[in-house]
Amino acid sequence: MAIKPVAIAAYTVTNALGRGMTASLAALRQRASGLRRCDFEDCAIDTWIGRVAGLEQEALRGPFAAFDCRNNRLARLALEQDGFAAAVRDARARYGAERIGVFIGSSTSGIRSTEIAYRDRDPASGRLPATFDYRHTHNLFSAAELTRRWLDLHGVAFTISTACSSSAKAFAAAWRHLQAGFCDAAVVGGVDSLCLTILYGFHALGLASSQMCRPWDAQRDGLNLGEGAGFALLEWAKPGDDRAQLLGYGESSDAWHMTAAHPEGVGAAQAMRDALARAELNPGQVDYINLHGTATRLNDAAEDRAVLTVFGPDTPCSSTKGWTGHTLGAAGVTEALFAILSLEHGFMPGTLNTRQRDPALGAGLLLDSQERPVRVALSNSFGFGGTNCCLLFGHPHAAATRSRPS
Amino acid sequence: MSALFVEGVSILAPGLIGWNASRAVLTGERPYHAAALPPLAANLLPANERRRVTALVKLALHLAQEAVAMADCDPRTVCTVFASSGGDSEVLDQICAALTLPDRPVSPTYFHQSVHNTPAGYWAIATGCARASTSLSAYDGSVAAGLLEAAALALTEATPVLLVACDLPPPFPLLEHRPLTAPFGMALLLNPTATAPRLATLQVRPVGHRAPTTLADPDLEALRRGNPAARALPLLQTIACATSGRIILADEGEIAVNVDIEP
């Protein structure tokens, strides 16, 4: 039997394309990238970044002052777009604050605060400044704690941190907690912000491209880092529900290498198959795949193998990293919501910056956007440590096409 | 609510070296004496990987291995949840220090290991387990959150789940801002269907704000409060005593989890 679908009751994203869903949708339609030459603080790396404008002016104040850091500013800013916080307030009135879970993905949380504290160490003693607040900024839970306190929720809350699959896995965890009866609704999301750790870290690995990232391109040579936040409010779908729904999810581990994806994409393919199995859908019923598509040589090749294995060459797919950059722990929710945009607007974004498809890759990559009804969309997220997560979303009018158990 | 059978358990902390050696301390038959942790070897990993891994990874792998061995199950069939409040602060300290130097020479090896799911990745490589794995943090409530996620995974997917919770005191200068007093780690192998002799049966559910269950022994209570992973001690004590009981895992401002335990 297919798993019980969960409705996406409200959602929002903020990233280099701007604040809220409208900014992202407009940029996707207009093929307007949010990438710019790296101008993050005094970072001297020749690369492009997807930076959220204006975070410097968004300090957290009053009872939230302890949480003030780039990552939590971004989270708070995103929570206030698209009426999201108001939708959660309504849900709180219906379900009760203790019955709404918070599942947030983040890879590095507010590590920028610790970077700054190390920079400002006392030269004699080596101690960090007394003003450094580890708990409310750097600790991974800070992202979930800020979200929970901003929304005044008192249920289950934790931060999932599995590198670049973090906020995709938040959807899977939320489904499980709903199913186990640990909560009645869930705020899922992800937030990651630019910091020197990831910029210099990916630079050290030779993976930060000096050009705008070109997923699936024959000349691709690496990724661009970005920052972003996205949130969704989940509740059980009702009969006749007319909202986008989470139909399935799949998770797996490569069990292969800490940073290199399995060359055949075995774990990625398993995650896609598991998502289809939970939804009781056949590969042919998926209309659009939002790829992880980071634009590194090896990741795109591995994902291509996995997509070909499960779907063959005909399912339209694209990577939206050329718009936002790779937002790491926020990529899962960002691209899940882009998949939902494709359902709601009948619009499949192409793949920005990619000029010549790598002839060695065979998936059905869209270079140009297409306006076409999308009933079922899939979103891939993979990360360091060999972590894979795949999410499958549908719109209710896709229900008639869903296969029946034989 | 559905029951979870505890088919494997492990513990590693000063004076609590492995489950069998620790049981008499947890039941109160022997007094608790903190003693330094022995060096851990990460024998599960191939030699080239073993050289690189940090103390936190070694601790996590050791705990996982002991719990799986006790349950006598195939690790490739087991989903995993790794709960750690702060993750690998040794790695984060190295990276943040490197970022203060000219040209910011972040070590690729450290950057590889900077993600919170590094122990999960190494466990998968060591055992060949390709199943779902969650790595999470909930600050001082990380054990409680890990137990909920493990229970949710086990019950909804009808699968055995290995929960590993561990934290190490961070190095100076982070230690002053996150003053953990001792290393601590524990693991539980939870199965929604009984397949091996069980140590206990658990029922787990979140509850509203509650005071946590504490320990009578002042030294063990100090350990419980001194490391987020050690918040599991009252649960481990009840399992060791093979008695029925109700444990609240809670910390101020975070989730409270009610655990009902039967032998």
Q: A225-272, pLDDT tens digit by residue?
A: 999 999 999 999 999 999 999 999 999 999 998 888 899 999 999 999
Whether A202 maps to a domain, the answer reads: yes
Whether B62 maps to a domain, the answer reads: yes
Out of A38, A164, A183, A195, pick the active-site residue. Answer: A164
Q: What share of chain B is helix, strand, coil (3-state, %, to 5)?
A: 40, 20, 40
- Write the CA distances from A110 to A114, A304, B176, B188, integer angstroms: 8, 33, 18, 30
B122 touching A (Cβ < 8 Å)? yes
B206 touching A (Cβ < 8 Å)? yes
Does B127 contact A255 at a Cβ distance shorter than 8 Å? Answer: yes
What secondary structure letter does DSSP report for A223? B
Chain B residues within an 8 Å CB radius of A385: 115, 117-118, 120-121, 124, 135
Is the predicted ipTM greater than 0.95, yes or no?
yes
- pLDDT confidence of residue B50: 85
Q: A68-126, pLDDT tens digit by residue?
A: 999 999 999 999 999 999 999 999 999 999 999 999 999 999 999 999 999 999 999 99
Q: B156-173, pLDDT tens digit by residue?
A: 999 999 999 999 999 999
Q: A16-73, pLDDT tens digit by residue?
A: 999 999 999 999 999 999 999 999 999 999 999 999 999 999 999 999 999 999 999 9
Q: How large is the angle between the packed helices B89-98 and A111-119, nearest 10 degrees?
A: 50
Mean pLDDT over residues A303-316, rounded?
Answer: 98
Whether B38 maps to a domain, the answer reads: yes
Does A140 contact B137 at a Cβ distance shorter than 8 Å? Answer: yes
B156 touching A (Cβ < 8 Å)? yes
Specify whether A326 is catalytic: yes
Confidence of residue B115 (pLDDT cuts 50, 70, 90): very high
Whether B211 maps to a domain, the answer reads: no
Contact A143, A109 (CB under 8 A): yes
Whether B22 maps to a domain, the answer reads: yes
Chain A residues within an 8 Å CB radius of B137: 139-141, 158-159, 161
- Per DSSP bridges, beta strands A157-160 and B133-137 are antiparallel
Whether A215 maps to a domain, the answer reads: yes
Smallest CA–CA distance from A251 into chain B, residue: B132
Which burial class, exposed, middle or buried, applies to A165 when counting CB atoms under 10 A from its CB (0-12, 13-18, 19+)? buried
Whether B83 maps to a domain, the answer reads: yes
In our burial notation (b when 16+ CB lie closer than 10 A, e otherwise), range B235-244 reads: bbbbbbbeee
Q: B230-247, pLDDT tens digit by residue?
A: 999 999 999 999 999 999
Confidence of residue A398 (pLDDT cuts 50, 70, 90): very low
**pTM of the complete model beyond 0.90:** yes
Total of domains in chain B: 1
Specify whether A177 is catalytic: no
What secondary structure letter does DSSP report for B178? S
Whether B169 maps to a domain, the answer reads: yes
- pLDDT confidence of residue A399: 42
| A349/A366 Cα distance (integer angstroms) | 8
Whether A105 maps to a domain, the answer reads: yes
For the domain that residue B86 is a member of, what is the CATH number? 3.40.47.10
Length of chain B: 263
Specify whether A164 is catalytic: yes
Chain B residues within an 8 Å CB radius of A159: 136-138
Does A180 contact B176 at a Cβ distance shorter than 8 Å? Answer: no
Whether A403 maps to a domain, the answer reads: no
Whether B263 maps to a domain, the answer reads: no
Does B120 contact A387 at a Cβ distance shorter than 8 Å? Answer: yes
What is the rounded radius of gyration, in angstroms, for the C-alpha atoms of chain B?
18
| A226/A206 Cα distance (integer angstroms) | 17
Structural domain harbouring B69: 8-196
B198 touching A (Cβ < 8 Å)? no
Residue type, A132: F
Share of chain B above pLDDT 90, in %: 89
Of B113, B120, B139, the CB nearest to A135: B139
Structural domain harbouring A349: 6-396
Out of A183, A292, A390, A395, pick the active-site residue. Answer: A292
- pLDDT confidence of residue B48: 82
Contact A336, A367 (CB under 8 A): no
Q: What is the residue-averaged pLDDT of chain B? A: 96
Confidence of residue A406 (pLDDT cuts 50, 70, 90): very low
Q: Which 229-258 residues of chain B touch chain A by CB within 8 A?
A: 253-255
Total of domains in chain A: 1
- pLDDT confidence of residue A295: 98
B137 touching A (Cβ < 8 Å)? yes
- pLDDT confidence of residue A404: 34
Whether A298 maps to a domain, the answer reads: yes
Is the bond into B173 cis (omega within 30 degrees of 0)? yes
For the domain that residue A188 is a member of, what is the CATH number? 3.40.47.10
| A264/A258 Cα distance (integer angstroms) | 16
The token pair at A279 is 């939804």
